[in-house]
């Protein structure tokens, strides 16, 4: 897994980021979602390297082997702005002043925040299986609450930690053959770690509070995604069913939007790596 990549931990601004990076050429930053780690990109990242990119795959703040900040009542240490700050400092430390950026699931929320706060650093932005948190909540109805109930369960204090850590293997399911055995082993080690579980839950608690408020402040100020935006979604997941035209959801948020569905379940980097990598290569080559 990740043959030819360098694996290390970088200290940044009082935090630490575990990452894998490899290749030469224009830099690309790939952000995973919940409950994965950077290992989820093991079938995509080598394809981007072969296409001539320098690829950086970090574990997000609170996830995997990256820093686990102490939770705070306002959830700011686990906000998307705090996570984006880690990654911006990481890319600076690696010598990448400007880079293409892709985020999946919760990683798409971090990628959106980084792009809104620091548009001069992002050449192109790809968001996978995601819409803004505030858009989810503005559209929330009984169907959303039934299917995405975990958002509101995760937001409860203390109870989710007790429930999940009692039997993490039953809660976080994944098949070794489908995910790749090394990726699955890393995922399993992470989800069995109570500190990771707490960090992932704090990510969702921040989402419903400070992250939502930050997005609403952006919209009120007329702030938009400046770099070209590619939106990709899994055709065998439920985003399109819930919201219809996803590009229409994104158009008020960005100056230039394109995108399409991919024949995959939710974890597209594992299930449809060739199609996903092809779409990213085509989009990022125009940066």
What secondary structure letter does DSSP report for 267? -
Q: Is 125 left (phi over 0), alpha (psi -120 to 50) or beta?
A: beta
Of 117, 193, 238, 266, the active-site residue reads 266
Burial category of 41 from C-beta neighbours within 10 Å (exposed 0-12, middle 13-18, buried 19 and up): buried
Helix (H) or strand (E) holding 276: helix 273-284
Confirm whether 266 is a catalytic residue.
Answer: yes
The sheet carrying 6-12 orders its strands as: 6-12, 15-22, 54-58, 27-31, 99-104, 122-128, 229-234, 257-262
Contact between residue 36 and residue 185 where contact means Cβ atoms under 8 Å apart? no
**Residue whose C-alpha is closest to residue 64's, from 109, 87, 33, 98:** 33
Q: Which pair of structure tokens corresponds to residue 103? A: 């985020």
Please name the residues in contact with 29: beta carbons below 8 A apart, sequence gap of 6 or more: 56, 58, 87, 91, 96, 99, 100, 101, 102
Of 59, 86, 105, 211, the active-site residue reads 105
Confirm whether 105 is a catalytic residue.
Answer: yes
Contact between residue 80 and residue 109 where contact means Cβ atoms under 8 Å apart? yes
Please tell me whether the peptide bond between 23 and the residue prior to it is cis, using omega within 30 degrees of 0. Answer: no
Helix (H) or strand (E) holding 186: helix 181-191
Q: Give the catalytic positions in this structure.
A: 105, 266
């Amino acid at each position: 897994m990740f043959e030819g990549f360098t694996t290390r931990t970088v200290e940044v601004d009082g935090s630490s980021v575990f990452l894998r990076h490899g290749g030469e050429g224009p830099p690309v930053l790939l952000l995973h979602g919940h409950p994965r780690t950077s290992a989820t990109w093991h079938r995509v990242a080598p394809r981007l390297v072969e296409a001539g990119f320098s690829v950086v795959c970090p574990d997000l703040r609170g996830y995997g082997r990256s820093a686990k900040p102490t939770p705070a009542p306002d959830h700011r240490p686990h906000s998307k702005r705090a996570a984006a700050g880690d990654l911006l400092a990481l890319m600076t430390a690696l010598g990448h002043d400007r880079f293409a950026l892709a985020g999946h699931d919760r990683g798409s929320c971090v990628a959106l925040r980084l792009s809104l706060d620091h548009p001069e650093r992002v050449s192109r932005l790809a968001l996978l299986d995601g819409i803004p948190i505030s858009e989810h909540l503005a559209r929330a109805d009984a169907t959303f609450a039934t299917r995405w109930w975990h958002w509101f369960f995760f937001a409860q204090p203390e109870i989710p930690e007790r429930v999940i850590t009692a039997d993490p293997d039953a809660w976080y399911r994944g098949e070794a053959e489908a995910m790749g055995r090394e990726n699955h082993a890393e995922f399993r080690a992470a989800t069995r770690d109570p500190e990771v579980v707490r960090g992932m839950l704090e990510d969702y608690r921040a989402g419903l509070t400070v992250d939502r408020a930050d997005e609403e402040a952006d919209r009120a100020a007329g702030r938009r995604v400046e770099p070209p935006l590619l939106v990709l979604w899994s055709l065998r997941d439920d985003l399109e069913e819930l919201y219809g035209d996803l590009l229409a959801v994104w158009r008020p948020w960005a100056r230039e939007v394109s995108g399409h569905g991919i024949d995959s379940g939710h974890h597209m980097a594992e299930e449809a790596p060739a199609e996903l990598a092809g779409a990213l290569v085509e989009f990022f080559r125009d940066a």
